[in-house]
Amino acid sequence: MTVNILRFCLIVLVLLGGFSLLGGSLFWHMLGFDEGLQITGRAQPVTNADAVPWTAYGGDPGGMRYADVHDITAANVDSLEVAWIHQTGALDDRGDAARRSSFQVTPIMVEDSLVFCTQFNDVIALSPETGEEKWRFDARLDSTLQPANGFTCRGVSYWRDASSPEGFCGTRILTGTIDARVIALDAKSGKPCPDFGENGEVKIVPETELVWPGEFQITSAPAIAGDLVIVGSAISDNLRVLAPAGTVRAFDVRSGELIWEFDPVPRSPADPAHGSWDIDLDMFPGHANVWSTMSVDPQRGLVFLPTSSSSPDFYGGLRPGDNRYTSSVVALEAATGKVIWDFQTVHHDVWDYDVPAQPGLYSVTRSGVTVDVVAQVAKTGLVFVLDRETGIPVLAVEERPVPQGGMPGEKLSPTQPFPSITPPVVPNQLSEDDAFGLTYWDRQSCKRQIAGARSEGLFTPPDEQGTILYPFTGGGANWGSAAFDPTRNLMVVNMSNVAHLVTLVSPEADADGILSHEAEFAPMTGAPYGMTRELLMSPLGLPCTPPPWGVLAGVDLDSGKIVWRTKFGSVRRFAGGLDSELGMVNLGGPMITASGLVFIGATADDYLRAFDVETGEELWRADLPASAHATPMSYKWQGREYIVIAAGGHKDTGLPLGDSIVAFALESTAD
């Protein structure tokens, strides 16, 4: 009876509020979410004595996303107000390119400035107190590139010369670009460092000729390890089997000289992972790239790579074997690029379940002993916690049988790794009885779609019938990554809870004639199949999966238990202004403060929210100029604590885009 009443109320809300989800269904089509050495990249002192800086994309080189600030608390968070807004002007005069952009950046706080990149790779420094522009670097990016992953830049990185930091380029901002350049700028002035490459930049030329210039790009902040700047790449996933290699490159941060390269496809027979590929890898120049953010352990001299699946995503018959190093966390010796250990989250990945998030380098207290771990959140909704020195699971992982019966030529892994203790953060089983719909007819449509496809749970192989991937290829978790509270052993992560329908088709198929006009088509040239991919949706434009469609969860990394989980996101931008909390697909990440607050944007409802880190209770929300598909950061300056978020929207929401950096703070007590 209660369910029927709730359904009736939702229908009334839809009718009264003009639930125009069909017009806003592009939001649900966010497919790109589509990622012994002494390190000097840790937090450095700034001029203001009481400043609490944020000197790396994830707050620190290990991506903890934790700010040691205490002034904004659960008791006063309701008093937060906008301190300043800076509009970058990045979308001005960009034409159609502006509509293909996403503002995903998290600023860093270095050299008395907030520094960040725009969607088009310009680098800007702002006053941390007023948001006024201090300097700007024009990256001269060609707006006609049409990059496969759109125009975005998630962050910049900072390097400090320990021997002479006060001279020109003694501190540097490093950034990668959509057109595959690595750029070094003087952190104080924004001027190019002339000794780095050619006039401050190094151009990366892939080993394989590109089909078009936008096939290969850099979207995430570089890793800084000692005097090295390390970059990966984002590559068009399903265009072709013989895609550009996903090589990770380390350059000398002073000169731009290439120091080492690491290809996640282990082509040398001497590599211990080579035998996990039952193929002559000289004949397979495909990729398993690192498109998301890497992490660095300064004390151990290690860099941790989140690798992708191998090309193409949905058919692996041409790359038999477990394909080690793909869809894995790979720990390298930062000075040399030598593999120290690797842990594979998906064997022989044919689901696009690559590792999307920055590996979290956390110190967990277990029975009074501090254990340094790598915590990896996954698109599958799973959480892996590994020993940082060995890669051996700290929280047990077991191999479980998974569905079989792939397409001819496919050799699936009979088992996949699952955490033994921590359950999935979002569901991964979908049956006809689970189908959601606001009306009887809506639900019946979803039931028919589920019944007509293969849906045998996580890791059901793609085929010509159509396979339900649940969670969808955007996660679960994505590049927004997780945040960690070291005082509570608590990791906080946001995840999405919707499904994809993936179908293998003829490589020559006409995309306009397959399944529906909403289906994405990719030829996977060189494979016997192409693919279509579409979100599993009802006629009203709602997901067929039961809500909440977005969740925020707290996971105890000592016990492995999920201590709280809450629905996350409102449908107000798609429901005539009605603020119904059904949860939303989300893209962006959380940040935690020492006072026990979790701040997060990530949803398309234009809110920045604050939650209680211990309970998951929402404490505060504020309107933003546009949706914030980015991760917030925090710092303290001149005695005042700030929370900062990029609010510029995402190209796939179908909603207005923007260019705002917004800072919140408590009312100033200064005279």
In the predicted structure, residue 36 carries a pLDDT above the cut 90: no
Are residues 303 and 352 in contact, defined by beta-carbon separation less than 8 angstroms?
no
How far is 375 from 329, CA to CA, in rounded Å? 10
In the predicted structure, residue 46 carries a pLDDT above the cut 80: no
Q: DSSP for 255-273, please give it.
A: T--EEEEE-SS--STTSTT
Q: DSSP for 111-143, please give it.
A: TTEEEEE-TTS-EEEE-TTT--EEEEE-----T
**Residue 274, phi then psi, degrees to nearest 5:** -60, -40
Q: CA 140, 141, 145: angle at the middle one, nearest 5?
A: 150
Q: CA 623, 627, 628: angle at the middle one, nearest 5?
A: 95
Residue 466 CA from chain centroid, whole number? 27
User: 352 an active-site residue?
Assistant: yes
Closest to 600 measured CA to CA, from 640, 630, 565, 636: 630
Residue 574 has what pLDDT?
Answer: 61
pLDDT in tens, 244-301: 999 999 999 999 999 999 999 999 999 999 999 988 877 666 789 999 999 999 999 9
Are residues 600 and 588 in contact, defined by beta-carbon separation less than 8 angstroms?
yes
Angstrom distances, CA of residue 35 to CA of 97, 173, 357, 366, 529: 22, 20, 7, 31, 25
From the candidates 352, 605, 606, 652, which is the catalytic residue?
352
Q: What is the pTM of this model?
A: 0.92
Provide the terminal-to-terminal Cα distance of the chain, rounded to the nearest Å.
60
Q: Tell me which CATH code domain 2-34+37-357+368-665 carries.
A: 2.140.10.10
pLDDT in tens, 600-640: 999 988 999 999 999 999 999 999 999 999 999 999 999 99
Cis peptide upstream of residue 246 (ω within 30 degrees of 0): no
What is the enclosing helix (H) or strand (E) of 15?
helix 2-17
Q: Which residues contact 273 (CB under 8 A, 6 or more apart)?
A: 266, 324, 325, 339, 342
pLDDT-derived band of residue 326, with 50, 70 and 90 as boundaries? very high
pLDDT in tens, 181-221: 999 999 999 999 999 999 999 999 998 889 988 999 999 99
Closest to 381 measured CA to CA, from 430, 330, 335, 332: 430
pLDDT-derived band of residue 151, with 50, 70 and 90 as boundaries? very high
Three-state DSSP class for 103? coil
Any idea where the domains of the chain sit in the sequence? 2-34+37-357+368-665
Q: What is the CA radius of gyration of the chain?
A: 23
